Structure 1
Amino acid sequence: MLGAQTASAYVFQTFNWKKNIYGGSSTLASYQGTKAQDAFRQLQDSLRTCKSFTGVGWVGKFKAKVTVEQAPAVGDEALSFHVTSPLPDGDGGGLRDEHHVFVRTGTITASFEELNVGRKAQFPLRLIKKQVDRLSNAQRS
């Protein structure tokens, strides 16, 4: 659902920040009928039970922790969570932090992601609000 695989149409955008070389991204996805609500519920249900996971990435095997936080008051409903994983000792230690915000407004979802290493990631709320307002207004037109 974060990647919008079941959407009728979607757009992916990469953000390059001046003060964070890791950047961020957003995915806007349009769904038919109640599929946007279904995608939201699926993620919401997953976040209730998934507190950690393991995988293999460019640094080798890793274990990530999932932490849900208070979502911003945007759209019809929103979720916010962090996925953190420790860096290998050879990379200076510390944490890799991904901040995710998933918003549904009508039949559209917007997913925002910010990555940071060594500091807490936080996708800019003003950009989330601006994009969600545009999506809400476009559906009313």
Structure 2
Amino acid sequence: MVGVSGVTGGTAAGKGRRVRNGASGFSLGSASTGAAAAAQAAAPAQAVGLLALQEAGPVAERDSRARKRGEALLQSLSELQLGLLGGRLDPARLRAMAALVPGEEAADPALAAAISAIRLRARVELARHGLEAASSSD
């Protein structure tokens, strides 16, 4: 392990480099010009930040709606299974499941894949019992 033994003063970057006396390459300019430039430079960053905040809300809401629809479809599939095991098929339950199949896609790719698999299983069950789900993108 290498340790730091101390701090030294500044040195020139290279031996061939000349240092100018007097004027430097950096200037602050007037205070009003500097403030206007700072405001213009900050505006795009703030606009992007606000846009990101606006986009975060709808994405989270869309994922939440998709998750709730997926959970409702799973519950409906479970109820259908229990009904079939009990020897009774409820057409109203099938129609309710068919209404849940179409809907907005989730923004999260993993959630979208899970919801797509649930929707596919629901459509298979609906087809087995002679019903069609409304148009969907799966």
> TM class, shorter-chain normalised?
under 0.3
TM-score (norm. length: structure 2): 0.26
Looking at secondary structure, tell me which structure has more helix per residue.
Answer: 2
Q: 1 or 2, which has the higher strand percentage?
A: 1
- TM-score normalised per structure 1: 0.25
